[in-house]
Amino acid sequence: MIQKFFAHSVDGRPVDEWQPLDEHLKGTAELATKFAKAIRPNDKLFTELARLTGLLHDIGKYRTEFQEYLRKERQGGVDTVHAVYGAGKALFEHESLAATFVVAGHHTGLYDVADLVLLVNGEKYKVRDRLMDILNYASEKTRSLQFKEICSDSDTQETRYRYEVMIRMLFSLLVDADRLNTEESEKRKLVDSQWKRKAISINPSDLLLKLQKTRLKKSKKSKNGQLKKLRNDIFEACFDKGQNLSQGFFSLTVPTGGGKTLSSMAFALTHARQHNLRRVIVVIPYLSIIEQNAKEYRDIFGEESVLEHHSAVDVSRPNDDTAQAQDIEKAMENWDVPIIVTTSVQFIETLFSASSAQARKLHNVAQSVVIFDEVQTLPTHLLEPLLDVLRELKNSYGVSFVFCSATQPAFKKTTNMKNGFVDDEIAEITPNPDILYKSLQRVKYTVKQSDLPWTWQDLAQKMIEHNQVLCILNLRRQAYELLVAINRNLEERNGFSDLDDSVFHLSSAMCPAHRLDRLDIIKKRLKIGKPCHVISTQLIEAGVDIDFPVVFRALGPLDSIVQSAGRCNREGLLVDENGKLQLGEVIVFNPQDSGLPPGIYSTATNITPAYLDNTRLATDPGLFKEYFTELYQITPTDYQRKGSHTIQHERAEFNFRKVDAMARLIKDDSIAVVVPYGKAIDIIARIRKGQSFDRYDIRSLQRYMVNLRKGFHSDYDKLKSALTPLIPERLEIPVLNKAFYDIKTHRGVVVENLPPEEFVI
């Protein structure tokens, strides 16, 4: 009989260098306890629960069958599954439903409650019968645990919601503690005995100094004295409020171009310093380009302090401890840096996911400041569960939230939004937003007649009449058709046979690094007055620092139109032929191809004409509250499948996998594909040559990924033959053949000579 038990095997190393099981359980419990104290410092029950999950999560490895499996003397199967036994001890002896969920799912993900009961009580694993033998081998510390926690089924719905979030937090910190302890053990043995994982902690005072220096440099460069003063006033208000207000919900209502990026960070860092918070998380719309903001933060604070996380790498984990599963764990992200820049997709899926890969980073959201940039883009159909979870994160986990937008939505409590905010629950940071809007007016709106739609040839002709112009459309198909039309017009006018170098087409078919490179060229042309005709979908309208004298915007949602206007006369320096300051022009038109993205986008577009008041659009933030109030009254705010319950109902029933499936922001499955652009080529070659990687390598590849929709006849399906795994049979992140990524004409991924229609960001 085997007397020594191990937690993991390490390929190529002798057995006596494997990590002992008791050492792993103890180390994981200590790390889980540390994490629990950090996020709920005054909650002894929570800390003890965390310690319990750490000590129990792998006790099922105290079985001869599992040890034989580690030694490759037995194939995997029912007899080598281990998590269920720790879950059984948590339920039968410690009466903790939370620990049962967490331990049972720490590899395969959180279960729905009925599946969990069947797993632990069913005949498949005979948990009760086998526990006694397992505990005979376990350490005294594991056997003699006295902790009990009883969850009553008669709790109120509000209590059950809070308990559900607590389970998710415990799950997150256990998964992270388990992976980090294993990582540290492997590195210590494989690298050198002195190895210690480097912790990157936030130093708000140091980061604020760097931010102040950047702000002063930008202020000196600004040529518009009035705009400079207004931006400085906003920055100072954020700096002052950040250190003087208690934790809670805040709104930052600033017109586009008012300096929200730096000012919101000033609030967050002063707030973090005042309340001893651990990090700042910036959440940007998934249809936006986040790399510009991430680059700006990296330039200010340094590469090591900023993580840019957006592409959803497919890290679905196989059962238990296969080699593939261990490799996938190395790719899992845990948000352990001071400043995170991520997308709405990533953040919301982190809150509601049952997957260990997605949920691992959740506990690092606690005790932080979360900035929602362009908050009006939060998905309407998830507002009820989302606002409920945000409120619990604020109340119980020390999170402050900043809602930033030029078009603040009305998240007010109504009959259609029961979890909306009551009066005075959100504090406005900016003094006198109404006056600020009037002072920062830099554009005028021209709304064309809806009964006179424009063809692409009409629009192309109008665009080339301007030296520098941006056009934003609703669909990728429309953007591509306009690209063809404008190049045809320029060719007829100038005689060029190739694509004119003044024409730019920005697409989600391009990886983030590629788009950023193109934006750099666009900005240089704008700065020196060269011709610049840019065609894009909505991805450019939020968070992108570009400045055109004229913007054409296809009729769309009201907030999208106003966000597009933020790319027009951004610096307020536009002058007429006499050198006198003038307003930029935003032209709202109806394309003859009036196709729209489905769902809320189409609904919002339909009610927009009633709010297209040329004067109020540019000067009155109250207009947007009226618009969003109507929108939220006519659209669902809690997702419900046909014939089934809402997300909130499933949350109260502890059906984690149902919630996961329902709360996914992008309903159709998508997969991140690495494209052969820039530095990605060298990173791919290095990983494949050495067959070694960790999550830091995956972080590096983030900027070179494009997400493709999956499904029959989808773009992913059509490109399957052009995709190869990063490391076959180990890490199945697809890498695209270079023949299918167009760098010459900057279309990005190409399918059948056309831009893919179903890309997502």
From 191-205, 230-244, 280-294, 420-434, the region with the lowest mean pLDDT: 191-205
Identify the sign of the CA torsion 541, 546, 547, 550.
negative
pLDDT at 666: 60
CA angle, 392 then 394 then 399, to 5°: 130
Express each pLDDT in 25-68 by its tens digit.
Answer: 999 999 999 999 999 999 999 999 999 999 999 999 999 999 99
| CATH number reported for the structural domain that contains residue 222 in this entry | 3.40.50.300
Q: Which structure tokens are listed for 144?
A: 């003699």
Query: Of 543 and 178, which is predicted with more confidence?
Result: 178
Burial status of residue 1 (CB atoms within 10 A of its CB: 0-12, 13-18, 19 or more): exposed
pLDDT-based confidence at 552, cuts 50/70/90? very high
Q: Classify 45 in phi/psi space as left (phi over 0), alpha (psi -120 to 50) or beta.
A: alpha
Express each pLDDT in 251-267 by its tens digit.
Answer: 999 887 788 899 999 99
Give the integer Cα–Cα distance in Å for 446 and 586: 6
Q: Classify 112 in phi/psi space as left (phi over 0), alpha (psi -120 to 50) or beta.
A: beta
Residue 89 resides in a domain:
yes
Same domain, 708 and 562: no
pLDDT at 571: 85
Segments forming the whole domain that contains residue 351: 204-312+335-433
Sheet holding 279-284, edge to edge: 306-309, 339-343, 279-284, 368-373, 400-405, 249-253, 426-428
pLDDT-based confidence at 285, cuts 50/70/90? confident
Residue 739 resides in a domain:
yes
Buried b (16+ CB within 10 A) or exposed e, 23-48: ebbbbbbebbbebbeebbeebeebbb
Express each pLDDT in 206-240 by its tens digit.
Answer: 999 999 999 998 888 777 788 888 889 999 999 99
Same domain, 12 and 109: yes
Q: How far is CA 247 from CA 309, 347, 398, 399, 402, in A?
A: 26, 20, 7, 7, 10
Burial status of residue 324 (CB atoms within 10 A of its CB: 0-12, 13-18, 19 or more): middle
Residue 640 resides in a domain:
no
Q: How far is CA 205 from CA 149, 210, 211, 243, in A?
A: 41, 9, 10, 12
Q: What is the rounded average pLDDT of the residues 502-521?
A: 89
Residue 141 resides in a domain:
yes
Express each pLDDT in 181-202 by its tens digit.
Answer: 998 887 765 544 444 445 577 8
pLDDT-based confidence at 668, cuts 50/70/90? low
Same domain, 401 and 482: no
Express each pLDDT in 331-366 by its tens digit.
Answer: 567 898 999 999 898 899 999 999 998 999 999 999
Q: What is the rounded average pLDDT of the residues 457-484?
A: 92
pLDDT at 536: 92
Pairing of strands 368-373, 400-405: parallel
Identify the sign of the CA torsion 321, 326, 328, 329.
positive
Same domain, 212 and 280: yes
pLDDT at 758: 41
Q: What is the rounded average pLDDT of the residues 277-301?
A: 85
Q: Which structure tokens are listed for 365?
A: 């959201």
Q: Which structure tokens are listed for 540?
A: 């450019």
Give the integer Cα–Cα distance in Å for 93 and 738: 57
**Residue where a domain terminates, one of 433, 458, 473:** 433
Q: What is the rounded average pLDDT of the residues 499-525?
A: 88
Same domain, 530 and 558: yes
Averaged confidence pLDDT in the chain: 87
Burial status of residue 15 (CB atoms within 10 A of its CB: 0-12, 13-18, 19 or more): exposed
Same domain, 175 and 264: no
The residue behind tokens 């190529």 is 12
pLDDT at 286: 60
**Residue where a domain terminates, one of 190, 216, 251:** 190
The size of the chain, in residues, is 761
Give the integer Cα–Cα distance in Å for 149 and 253: 44
Q: Are 232 and 238 in contact (CB under 8 A)?
A: no
Residue 373 resides in a domain:
yes
pLDDT at 126: 92
Give the integer Cα–Cα distance in Å for 467 and 321: 60
**Residue where a domain terminates, one of 401, 433, 465:** 433
Buried b (16+ CB within 10 A) or exposed e, 479-492: bbbbbebbbebbee
Q: Is the pLDDT of residue 487 over 50?
A: yes
From 515-524, 536-545, 686-695, the region with the lowest mean pLDDT: 686-695
Residue type present at position 338: P
Q: Provide the percentage of residues in the chain whose pLDDT is more than 70.
A: 90
Give the integer Cα–Cα distance in Å for 644 and 642: 6
Same domain, 272 and 421: yes
Q: Which structure tokens are listed for 679?
A: 């530095």
pLDDT at 196: 46
Same domain, 388 and 521: no
Residue 660 resides in a domain:
no
Same domain, 723 and 618: no
Same domain, 629 and 726: no
Residue 676 resides in a domain:
yes
Give the integer Cα–Cα distance in Å for 548 and 239: 30
Same domain, 341 and 248: yes
Q: Is the pLDDT of residue 725 over 80?
A: yes
Q: Is the pLDDT of residue 643 over 80?
A: no
Residue 642 resides in a domain:
no
From 78-92, 170-184, 421-435, 654-668, the region with the lowest mean pLDDT: 654-668
pLDDT at 516: 87
Domain count within the chain: 4
Same domain, 537 and 568: yes
pLDDT at 435: 87
Residue type present at position 508: S
Q: Which structure tokens are listed for 412?
A: 């007010």
Measured in degrees and rounded to the nearest 5, phi and psi for residue 652 equal -65, -25
3-state secondary structure of 755: coil
Query: Of 675 and 193, which is predicted with more confidence?
Result: 675
Q: How far is CA 378 from CA 160, 247, 287, 347, 411, in A?
A: 25, 22, 11, 11, 11
Burial status of residue 124 (CB atoms within 10 A of its CB: 0-12, 13-18, 19 or more): exposed
